Structure 1
Amino acid sequence: MKKTKIAIIGNGSISHVHMAAYKKLSNVEVVANCDINEERAKEFSQKYDIPRYYTDYNEMFKKEKLDGVSICTWNNVHAPATIAALKAGANVLCEKPLALNAKEAEEMVRVSKETGKLLMVGFVRRFGVNTEVLKQKIDKGDLGKIYYAKTGVLRRVGNPGGWFSDKKRSGGGPLIDLGVHMIDLARYLMGKPKAVSVMGSSYDLVGPRSNIKGIQIYKSVDYSDYNDVEDFAVGFIKFDNGATLVVETSWAQHIKKDKIYLEIYGSKAGASLEPELEIYTEQNDYLVDEKPVIDPQFFDFQAMFDREIQHFIDCIENGTPCISPAEDGLELMKILDAIYKSAETGHEVSIE
């Protein structure tokens, strides 16, 4: 059986999740990996029995004939690595955010169209079973007209440090790291309306809180407590269909406990996707709360990536329409750019 040949660029934490998903597919072979840290690239190659490893993706593209590439690098490498991969004839699954900004994302989309190769953005939360269940109900009209959503990811102490908190490499803090997932998920459920205007604020008053003891937090593989990004950001987004979305994100905030939430409001019903899936409606003149029964295994972090990677391969092999096309990643970059610009200027920002 002919296997789809894959390479993974960037061999930090998230690349192991991609690799675990690829290894479950009998029709896929990961033939190469690449990281600027040669020791890390070698260790990754040895751990997963990958034939060849590289420290320069341009060299890899010259020597390897690839069907697809997972890009799991720092955010500032997403655009150049993706463009190089597309021009080398490979389809690309690029981790979120698609780029550092909308300008880079526009170029990535342009090259994807020019080369005829797939560019898929890693909005993995779209592949959660809870998301699928709620999306089906919304598409059937069970919630009626969606007019408002609010979402957020708030951490009391959760700055990963390293490249995450270095704006040159990341593009920003919790908004571009966590907010990108929640804004996309809300917009996806709302039917992907176009954002037309944004108001935003951001703050960097708390700092990385690297002094805190007694708890475990995720730290980047290149951890340092250098930090020049926001602690907290909030955005108010208006869409072309009149709907509104409010988002808030933090890495460091004086709250009792971490919180993740996503609520959708329609004319016939409302719903909460996070922290758990529930639908709020009425039947026979009584208020009713619905809670779909879903096996807990489908909420596993790895399970969502397994579904995402399977979809990427299905798109490559069978031409299946992509659930997370690059155009959606570009729309998100326009929204993030606008929130940051509004926070900087103190004014509402219109989106073309």
Structure 2
Amino acid sequence: MSATDASGLAPATAPVRVGVVGAGTIAGLHLAAYARNPDVVVAGICDIDGERAAARASEHGAALVSTDFRAFVADPSIDAVSVCTRNDTHAEVAIAALEAGKSVLLEKPMAVTVAQAEAIVAAEAASAGSVQVGYVRRHSSNAVTLKRFVDAGDLGPLYYAKAVFLRQAGDPGGWFSNRSVSGGGPLIDLGVHFLDMALWLMGFPEPVAVTGYAFHRLGSRGNIRGLTRYLSADQTPSDDPVEDLAGALVRFADGAVLSIETSYSLHGRDSQSFEVFGERGGATLEPELRITTELHDTVVEIAPNIDALSFDLDEGFQVEIDTFVRTVRGEIPSVAPAAHGLHLARILEAVYASAASGREVRLDGHPAGLGAPDPDATVADAAA
């Protein structure tokens, strides 16, 4: 019998029994954070590679090992599920878990299409469980601190965000580099972090128009020596390569604008930066948190006195996992519900459609540019 009650919540006196679907690299980060939470027991591991699942289970003392995700998520010995599989399987695994009444910590991107994202939203609405999308960067101290300043109105209304996430030779290979599986390259893998950050800080404004671009010029650059890179657990060659550079300009209904550029391969230096600008102040989140404002007719820069001025991976995952456990216990609502993932999916799909068509994509039903409505202006038409 499951430790969850009819509401899908785990009693506060019992440990939350977590099942992890996927036993690759990202699963290791989830499992390490679960191991540090005293209110969690890792109940099982599921992976299409049975030996890999068994190895992970042995490391964490998990009793249940499976290669069948549907049977796994429905097992009564599991209260909640972490989905750490490849992108194109996120929707079907998450929906199966939700239909079994389980809450789901779902790795980003939530889905590779808007249709999949909409299906997850519908499944969450009908389930006793909930979804928390794995936007891990929200949980780092620098982001949490900046969010407090923004929500207090110290920066005023935010009207511009600028994000850069560039890798010079950072293609993970394997399924990450297969467009039909991953849904895209650096934009959907790396850029999704900063897209979410911008939307979260700006209060999820409604996107109305997207202009995107993508380049396929350098490839994976697997020949490069002397550099350490994050690699997929499976290094299967791809016959459907992803872009190596992508970016976009997103305009919102409130007049705000977001600029983003991302790369896996680029003849330049690795670079991460994220900035937001408001009517009363601005802030740099990465590479280090700084807040700029004006006091007594003087421009001043504030450096918060916190331990992590930059994104801390271990802290981010630990707080993300701990927050999910509190949600499973019914202590707090989901901090990143499926609706947030759908918001991003619409933007991502529009960026790729715009890049493919070479034209602006409208998301508000209005024509692109001036003049009569353009049949190529919608996501569906531009992608056709």
Give the TM-score range, shorter chain.
Answer: over 0.9
Counterpart residue number, 2:266: 253
SS of the counterpart of 2:168? Answer: coil
Q: Separation in 2 of the partners of 1:202 and 1:13?
A: 27
Kindly indicate whether the alpha-carbon contact (under 8 Å) linking 1:66 and 1:89 is maintained by their aligned counterparts in 2. no
Q: Separation in 2 of the partners of 1:253 and 1:105?
A: 31
Q: Separation in 2 of the partners of 1:146 and 1:318?
A: 32
The percentage of aligned residue pairs carrying the same residue is 42
1:279 matched to 2:275? The reply is no
Kindly indicate whether the alpha-carbon contact (under 8 Å) linking 1:210 and 1:225 is maintained by their aligned counterparts in 2. no
Q: Separation in 2 of the partners of 1:297 and 1:3?
A: 33
Q: Separation in 2 of the partners of 1:194 and 1:289?
A: 31
Kindly indicate whether the alpha-carbon contact (under 8 Å) linking 2:208 and 2:363 is maintained by their aligned counterparts in 1. yes
Report how many residues are paired.
Answer: 351
Counterpart residue number, 1:82: 94
Give the 5 Å matches for 1:51-200: 51-200=63-212
Give, in angstroms, the shift of residue 321 of structure 1: 2.1
1:18 matched to 2:37? The reply is no
Q: Separation in 2 of the partners of 1:297 and 1:183?
A: 20
Q: Separation in 2 of the partners of 1:112 and 1:65?
A: 21
Which residue identity does 2:173 align to in structure 1? G
Q: Separation in 2 of the partners of 1:109 and 1:5?
A: 24
Counterpart residue number, 1:322: 334
TM-score, normalisation: structure 1: 0.97
Counterpart residue number, 1:309: 321
Q: Separation in 1 of the partners of 2:31 and 2:339?
A: 25
Kindly indicate whether the alpha-carbon contact (under 8 Å) linking 2:157 and 2:279 is maintained by their aligned counterparts in 1. yes
CA-to-aligned-CA distance 1:222-241 (integer Å, 9 cap, x gap): 12453611000010001111
Q: Separation in 2 of the partners of 1:142 and 1:297?
A: 19
Show structure 1 runs of 4+ deviating over 4 A: none
Counterpart residue number, 1:228: 241
SS of the counterpart of 1:318? Answer: coil
CA-to-aligned-CA distance 1:17-52 (integer Å, 9 cap, x gap): 111111122221111110001110011011111111
CA-to-aligned-CA distance 1:223-261 (integer Å, 9 cap, x gap): 245361100001000111110000000000111x20001
Give, in angstroms, the shift of residue 218 of structure 1: 1.8
Counterpart residue number, 1:40: 52
Kindly indicate whether the alpha-carbon contact (under 8 Å) linking 1:151 and 1:182 is maintained by their aligned counterparts in 2. yes
1:342 matched to 2:351? The reply is no
Q: Separation in 2 of the partners of 1:297 and 1:310?
A: 21
* Unaligned runs of at least 5 residues, structure 1: none
Counterpart residue number, 2:255: 242
* Unaligned runs of at least 5 residues, structure 2: 1-12, 365-384
Q: Separation in 2 of the partners of 1:23 and 1:332?
A: 30
SS of the counterpart of 2:192? Answer: helix
SS of the counterpart of 2:126? Answer: helix
SS of the counterpart of 2:70? Answer: helix
Q: Separation in 2 of the partners of 1:223 and 1:233?
A: 23
TM-score, normalisation: structure 2: 0.89
Which residue identity does 1:203 align to in structure 2? F
